[in-house]
Structure formats: C-alpha cells, structure tokens
Structure 1
C-alpha cells in the first residue's frame, strides 16, 4: 500500500469523518510486561463407572414365555376371557359371521382338553393365546365332512387342524408376542405333516393385509403353500319399494274366500 501524503491525510470533506492516521512508530523498542504462566482450567471429573450391567441401568419389561396347555380354568381362564372380549367384541359390528362368543362358550373351549392352548405368560399371568385343534367337531360353524373330503389322506391320519384364534392383551399389541404365537400355532400341524385351516373376516383381511401376512408366515416353513379353500360372500339387497302392480291385474283371492 502506498503512503498517503500528510496534507491529504489531514484534509477532510465536509460531513466526512475519518479515522485518524496511526502515529509514526518509534524506533526505540517498547517494553512489555513479562508473560505469566496461566494454569489450564481443571478438567471435569469423569463419573465413576457404574457397578451394575447395562440392563440394570435400563430396566426392561418382564420376559414372556410360551407354554402348551390342554386345559385352563379358574382365574387364568377369567383373565383370558377379558382379553378375548377386548379383542373380539368389536368384530360384532364389523363382520356378518359371528366372531364373538359368549363367556360360557369361551370358557368351555379353554377347559376342553381336545383343543390345544398356546399361552404367553408374563409375571405369572396369561397375556396371549392361540388355540388349535384336530378335533373338527369341536369347532363351531364349519363342516368337518367338507375338510375330510378335501384332504382324505390327512383325514386318515387325523392331521387336519383348525386354527381357532390368536390374540394378545391390548397392552402388548404391536410387539413380538403375536408373531411368536402364530408361528407356534403353525408349528403344531407342521410337526405332524398336516394341514392348517383357518378363516379371516374381510375386515381384518383388508385392514391388516392378511393375504400377504399368511404367505409371509408360510415362507418360514419348508415346502409350504397357502391357498383359499372356500369363500363365503355376503350380499345385501336394499329394497325401498315393491314391484308396482299393473292396474289391470287383480289381486288373487285368498283360498278361504274361494267358493266351491
């Protein structure tokens, strides 16, 4: 940068304020105070390591284990009835076919030794249930003859199974217990080399993509296949008015008014 002449440096235009020029540096060395050593600020102390494990620091829910039961009665049956009601009572207004049964009917199934109960337990209480049986006469609203004629080889070995239900308590929905229960249910007929029959109402089939879900479950089992064996379609005809009668047509007389 070129030096600015002193005369020009001191000349200012009206209304313009200039920063004064720096004074000429003295040739004599300038004394500075001696530097003082400054201690580094003390680093924060690290927290003492915890003596417990990471599970102790982040407690989790109690584990859930699964058992196979032939008969459930008493307080455990009452708890499962409450869970059943919470799961299936809403279907009474969502599906034509009956899905919600009375307390006596459900308790009878729970105590029936011919129906296998696959139960999820947490802290000693039942929190999930799947039911399956090869005693087809114990399943309401199905035709055992139809299934046996469709699968005669399996009928001969009594390996036609019907999946009655799978449910979990509302607090555990969306977790892994439901999938654990249905895999365990499918494993029962698979172990016997049998077939599993089950039904899903149209509301659940569309809402939860049941077609995709059942195929995904079947993919876990070697050489398995899934197909629709039957389908019930419910029709409704709205008839706000009858067929109009032609004026020239007379109403037939009742038999009691006909003279002989």
Structure 2
C-alpha cells in the first residue's frame, strides 16, 4: 500500500517577551544552523554574535513569535516596535517617512525569521508571518524588514513573502531602501 502524505498539522505560535537561558541557547543553535552559511554569501554580517542574540532573547521590548511542534521549537520570528533595539537601522528614517504610524506607536521591525531545517517544507514560516501580519493589520501599522541579496533574489524569499502578503490588499509591499557594496580589485594588465 503506498504511503499517504501526512496531513499538515497546525503549528502552534506563542509570543514570548523573555526566555530562560537554556531556551535562548537552543534558539541560538537553531539561528546559527539557519543563517551561518550567509557568512560567505553576503557582504554585511547577517549573523548576530551570540551575546547580541541572547540580549535580544531576554529583551522584553522584542517579541519572540515561537513556532512549536509539541514541545519542540521549530521556528522563531522576532518583532519589535522599539526600533532602538535594532542597531543597524535608523529610527529617524521611519519617524520621517511614516509620521502618522510613528505618532501612534505603530511602526515595527521584523528582525529574524527562521525555521528548523527539518520543517522548511512545511507551513511554519507562513504561520509565523501570518501571526505578525495579524498584529500589523489590527494596528494599521508599518512593518519593515531587511534581507540580503542572496536570500531575496537567489533563494527567492523576498518574492515569496510578497506573495504571502499580497493576500491582504490593504498591505502595500515595496522596497524602501537599498545598499549596494562595491569592490575595486587589482588585476595586473596582461
């Protein structure tokens, strides 16, 4: 008898403001497993140092959307409206460009979304993004994120996220900035 595909089980999402040290260490291992390879794919550092990551895990201003399969963590998304917790962005940019949302304290930054390798073909990523999207829609907010070229154009994550969010006609998704890295490489004349 042929195997029948196992139906996709619903993913449970919890929102945490702090996690204990052992859980934070588990999340960091999952984080490195997910993003470690980007060290040779992107010019800008894509991986927080362990102390930076753990600080974020314990910072109550950063919401941790945790995807669970039973008692196992299979995914993590970070989201904050305290933009000062994201050292590589300019809160002044968002205040200037989105003054109405800024005045209502409705500007968010999505820091990281990761899924355990064993669950990447499932709907974990979509479930975490959907949980964040519910908040953004409810608050009529702005949510920004960044993505390196490799994840965006090589892996196609940017277009995939856009397709997920296109199901919400009230959300307009578009790039808001780009930073291009250049190199001048010495090459002796032939």
Gaps of 5+ in 2: none
Is the strand fraction higher in 1 or 2?
2
Work out the CA distance in 1 between the residues paired with 2:9 and 2:164.
26
Work out the CA distance in 2 between the residues paired with 1:60 and 1:231.
40
| Deviation string, structure 1 residues 119-139 (Cα, Å, up to 9, x no partner) | 011231322101110000001
Work out the CA distance in 2 between the residues paired with 1:60 and 1:213.
22
Work out the CA distance in 1 between the residues paired with 2:158 and 2:90.
23
TM-score normalized by structure 1? Answer: 0.66
CA RMSD of superposed structures (Å): 2.2
| Aligned equivalent of 1:104 | 51
1:140 aligned to 87, 96, 108, which one?
A: 87
Structure 1 moving runs of 4+ over 3 Å:
58-64
Counting matched residue pairs gives 186
Within 5 A, what are the aligned runs for 1:79-118? 79-118=26-65
- Structure scoring higher RCO (CA < 8 A, sep ≥ 6) equals 2
Work out the CA distance in 2 between the residues paired with 1:218 and 1:129.
19
Q: What SS class does the counterpart of residue 118 from structure 1 fall into?
A: strand
Work out the CA distance in 2 between the residues paired with 1:186 and 1:111.
23
Greater CA radius of gyration, 1 or 2?
1
Work out the CA distance in 1 between the residues paired with 2:131 and 2:48.
24
Is the helix fraction higher in 1 or 2?
2
| Aligned equivalent of 1:215 | 162
| Deviation string, structure 1 residues 75-129 (Cα, Å, up to 9, x no partner) | 2211111100101111111101111111111111011100111001123132210
Tell me by how many angstroms 1:178 deviates: 1.2
Within 5 A, what are the aligned runs for 1:199-238? 199-238=146-185
Q: What SS class does the counterpart of residue 33 from structure 2 fall into?
A: helix
Work out the CA distance in 2 between the residues paired with 1:85 and 1:226.
28
